[in-house]
Structures are given as C-alpha cells and as structure tokens.
Structure 1
Amino acid sequence: MYYESNLTQDQIAKITGYSRSMVSRLLTEARRQGVVEIRINHPMQRRRDLEQALQARLHLDEVWVMARGTLAHGEMLRRLGVLAARFLEAYLHDYMTLGTSWGTAVYETVNALQPRTFRGIRVVQMIGALGTPNPDIDGPELARRMARALAGQYATLPVPLIVESETTRQSLMRAPHVQRVTQFFRQIDLALVGVGTVEPEHASLLRAGYLTAEQLEDLRAAGAVGDVCAIHIALDGSLVDTPLTRCILGIDAETLRRVPIRIGVAGGQAKALPILAASRSGLINRLVTDEVAATFALRILEEGSLSYVNATEPDAD
C-alpha cells in the first residue's frame, strides 16, 4: 500500500485498523527483513577519454572508467560495483555458465545486480574458499548470491584456497567431489574477477590471513605485482611460479584465458600495476575501474615510471 499504491501511513492505518505508529513500525521491519529494498541509483558518470586510452593501450575488448571525483575509497568501491553490475548485465542471457572469484569489488558488483530471471543460469566458484572473517566476500557466498539474483543454480568449490603442498593440491583436484565442480570450468561463458595486489598495505590475501608477510615478500621477490583468481602475475603479464603458487586450488590460467568474457573489476591507486599485469596476461579482456586507477596506469605506460605508485592513497583498499 505504501510503496506500490502511494498511500500515506494515515490512510493505511484507517484501512487496516492498525495505529499509525504500528504501520510505521511494520514498514521499518519490512526493510530490516529485506521484504522491501531501496536502491538509490546515482548518475554514473564515466571518463570516456580514459576508457578509449586504456582500451587501445592494453588491447582490451571493452573498458568502463568511473568518474570518481572526491569519493572516499569505500564509497568508490560501492559505486564501482554498481557500474560493473550494469556492465555485466549487458552480457547476460539464458543458459550461461558464470564464474566468480572473491573480494570486495566482486561482492559490490554481485550486490548491485538487478534481480532477473534467466533460464539455465549456472554460477561456479572458480577458486577455493578463503574462510575470511567476512564470509560475504568469499567465493561460496558470492556464487550463491549471484545465482539467487539471476534465479539460477550454483556450484561451490569444496576446498581451501591454499594447501600445504603441491602433492596435497594435486590429490584434492583429482577428488571426485572436486571434479564435479571443476568440470564446469571449461563451460564458463563469463568470468567476474577481482584484481589483487601484492603491496603489503593493500594485499587482500594478506589481510584475510591466507598469506604471511614472508610469503607475500617471496611473491614480490619473484616479480609478482598482482593476481587474478590467486594466479600471480608479473608486470609484463607473465605468470609467477613459486612453491606457493603451486599450492593454490582453483581455475588455472590456461582455462581462464579460454573464457570468452573475462571482466576484471578493480579501483584505486594501488590497483594500477595489477590492472596492467592482468590485462597483459590475458586473464581479463574487459575492465571496469575508476579514474584514479586508470590515470595511474596510463602514467606508468606513458612515462615508464613506477614513482606514481609509491605514493599512498589515504583510504586505499
């Protein structure tokens, strides 16, 4: 009555026999329980100049760059997720298999999807679970959320992200209950992935407790500047091979590169180098980012200097 028929609380009270205060409490409870959801769709301004420059320099199929203005990092990520959701929705159709990774940018994208009903949608978790203090941004929950938004089915990968040895990894990946999920990897039509960094101040895998500071430093020493689906990559796009990277469970680089639509979502200054690496590696072929990351990435390309990246973004992820 209130939201669809535009009746006032007084009118609803007279019709239902409830007091006006009870009507108000019921409306509040409806929002708390998720019966009612309110979305504010801010106009999403884009930087077309940066989009064209990045697309040309990185040979990507499509790039969207959000105009950030003075937004703090957390609000930037939320709005970036909204923009990425609109980007992703343009590719959705019946009988698709979608793959998801993990992280805040992917969470914000999935959270901003407009609920729609598709036939034959399947969502697959592409990397092992992290068991983070915030399960909302972990792979299993993101696969479930995306499937619910699109009225589809989902398959979660029942393994941790990192194990203690390469032998353990190989054994787990051969297990029947794991192969029931990994068989879908080669059927993925669209992959939604975050782009991680190995900078200690901003490394999500370090914050999640999956990497120690020493392990992160080993990855840096081996040339890694970032990761996609925990596949660590150097600035030139080459894969980083260390004892640790051989213990990570999830989709491999070759299989990911065969996915037709590979959307990377990342924003902020700390993601400039990882975005360059991810694009050069072929692990992503489409990008949704903000003007800060885009500007810093282009500066590095144009001037060949990493000095811009060494400055700290005050509220970076």
Structure 2
Amino acid sequence: MAERDELLLKIALLYYEEEITQSKIAEMLNLSRPTVASMLKEARQKGIVKIMIQHAEHDLLQKQASIRKKYHLQNLEIATLTNSNQKDIKAIAGELCTNLIEPLLPKIKNLGLGWGTTVYQYVTQANYLNLPDMKIIPLIGGVGLSHVKYHSNHLAFMLSQKYHSEVSYFYAPAIAESLEVKETLLKTNMLKEILTAGKNVDLAILGIGNPILSSTYHQLGYIDQTDTEILAKEKAIGDIGSTFFDKNGAPVFTDLSERMIGLSLEDIRKLKRVVIIATGEEKAESIETLLKMGFVTDLIIDETIADYLDQTKNPTD
C-alpha cells in the first residue's frame, strides 16, 4: 500500500472507528485540521471509506423521488405501516391525503370528490376547517341503498360539514337501471348543472378501482359475476369516475359502462389538478396506465403500488 494511502487509512480509522475529532487527529499526526478534513474527503473519493445510509425511511424516500420524477408528479406520498400505530393502510393513505390537500384548500373554489373506501378514509380523517367560500362537488352518481357511507353524495356532505363549506349533490345513481333511465336523467337541469360544475373543479380527489379484482362497484352491488366476466373479456384493468379502461387507457364499452353516470375519463383528463388516492397491489397496473396519460398531478399510494411503479420502464423510453 502506498505511503499516502496508509496515512489516509490511518486517519479514516481514527475518525470513523475510534471517533476521534479532526482537531485531535491533527494534533496526534502533526497535521493541520484542514489537511485532516481534506484527507478524509480523499479517502471517500478513493473508496477507502464508503458511507452508507441505513435507515428505514431512506429507501422509501429514494423510491418516492424516483417515481415523482418519472411521472412528473407535483406530489407523491407513499403509505407505509412502518413507524405507524395504525394497522389499516387505507387509513394511513387517507391521513396522507389530508396532509397533502388541506394546505391547498384556501385557494380552491370548487373541490371535486369521487367515491370509494380510500376516499372515505380521507374524508373521515379530514380536519375541521372554516372554508365558507369553497364548494364540494361530487363527480359521480351518489344515490343508492347499500353502503351509503361510500357514496359520493354522503362523502361530499360529510366533508362539507368538516370544512364548513358549501356542497352540491349528484341526484343520480352511479349506474342507471337502463340506458333509457340514464338518458332521461341527463336531460334534467339538476344533472346538467352538476356535470358542468364537475368539469370545472379546481382540484379533484379520486379513487381508482380494478373492476375485475377490486372495485367500489362490487362493494355497492352495481357489478355482478356476469358483468365481471364481460369486463374481463374486454380486458378492462381499471375504473375511474364513470369509465372502465384497458391497459392503454382506452374506454371499455359494455352495456354496463353505457349506463354509468358521472365524469368520464376524458372529462377528468381536462381538469386542472387531479389527486389520485389508492391502495392495493391489484390497482398498480391501472394506476401506471393513468400516470402514462400524464394528467395525474398528485398521487397517494401504498408501498406495493410504489414498488411496481418504481420497477416499470420510464414512460418516455
């Protein structure tokens, strides 16, 4: 080993292993303190010293930065059970959504709201704020008899109570009983007004579903086994608003989708700011598809989805 490398190693061992200060090392070796600092830097550059950051959050933060850059996101939050007292990953995602959204709200006039179990977690954990100039607008039909707490109208009402804001209601089911019923509803002024308002919100908070494996439509009883088989045959991988879509982001048209009432994927793509909140590995592919379309501005996901997104190819490749 060269004489200088021996000195570099000696200084590194004294500093990093024996935890002796740079000033004391300088005194011991008859060197100046700036010389010791310089030689410690040289030891790192030559690979004699390698510094590794080992912390539970380090990999997560690197992954977060990588995904945010890859998909040009304004914000990305990853829900993890690490260092959390909560056991429900949806609840953690809901809390992250609250922390992300609420500082933005004083500048928001119209807040669009989707539906589902994860959006529900955001609403239940929302803080009490005074936002009388803001209006909350459901973006999909919100009338039904089962699992009412996940419906858009109920969520919008709950949130308006917490934020002391105005609220509008979507007086229609997410899926009409027939195409004729849908067409009749769409002719009413109430639906025309709520759809127009939804298309002009400043910020939208939406959940994502997988109509084959996991979806709000299943939980609310809108989809049966026959519908699932048809959607699988048509290669639907996700749903957002009132649209089922395939891996290319193209709408999947079936008798079921023709009866859906709410903002379409095309409508959502034109919104100013779109926040997606989702958990569950089964939603990873559908989220990747939406991210590649370039309209999602903010994303709250869990670690399983983050791992999937981090390993996929850059959309520009």
Q: 1:72 to 1:243 in 2, by over 3 A?
A: farther
Q: 2:115 matched to 1:98? A: no
SS at match of 2:123: helix
Q: Deviations over 1:90-124 (max 9, x none)?
A: 32115510111111110111111111112311001
Query: Is residue 98–residue 125 contact of structure 2 (8 Å, CA) maintained in 1?
Result: yes
Q: Percent identity?
A: 21
- Kindly provide the amino acid, as one letter, of the partner of residue 185 in structure 2: L
RMSD: 2.6
Where in structure 2 are there 5+ consecutive unaligned residues? 1-56
2:221 to 209, 233, 258: 209
- Which sections of structure 1, spanning at least 5 residues, go unmatched? 1-44, 304-317
TM-score by length of 2: 0.74
Instruction: Report the AA paired with residue 276 of structure 2.
Output: G
Distance in 2 separating the partners of 1:220 and 1:70? 38
TM superposition shift of 1:288: 0.5
2:268 aligned residue? 256
Residue correspondence of structure 1 range 247-286 to structure 2 within 5 A: 247-282=259-294, 284-286=296-298
Query: 1:227 Cα shift?
Result: 0.9
| Cα distance in 2 between the residues matched to 1:223 and 1:50 | 30
CA 1:206 to 1:265, structure 2 compared with 1: closer, same or farther past 3 Å? same
**For the structure 1 residues 218 and 56, does the alpha-carbon distance in structure 2 shift closer, same or farther, using more than 3 Å as the test?**
farther
d(CA) in 2 for partners of 1:66 and 1:184?
A: 31
Larger displacement relative to structure 2 (175-184 or 143-152): 175-184
Q: What aligned pairs does 1:32-111 form with structure 2 within 5 A after superposition?
A: 47-69=60-82, 75-94=88-107, 96-111=109-124
Pairwise CA distance, 1:163: 1.6
Q: Deviations over 1:8-42 (max 9, x none)?
A: xxxxxxxxxxxxxxxxxxxxxxxxxxxxxxxxxxx
Contact between 1:228 and 1:278, CA under 8 Å: does it hold in 2? no
Encode CA deviations 1:242-294: one digit per residue, 9 max, x unaligned: 23212100012232222211100011212211211232345633210111211
Aligned match of 1:152 in 134, 151, 165? 165
Q: Whole-Å Cα distance in 2 between the matches of residues 86 and 107 of structure 1?
A: 15
Query: Which residue pairs with 1:219 in the alignment?
Result: 231
SS of the aligned residue for 2:237 comes to strand
**Count of matched residue positions in the alignment of Structure 1 and Structure 2:** 258
Indicate the structure with greater helix content.
2
Match of 1:125 among 134, 138, 142: 138
Q: Does the 8 Å contact 1:228/1:283 carry over to 2?
A: no
Largest Rg, 1 or 2: 2
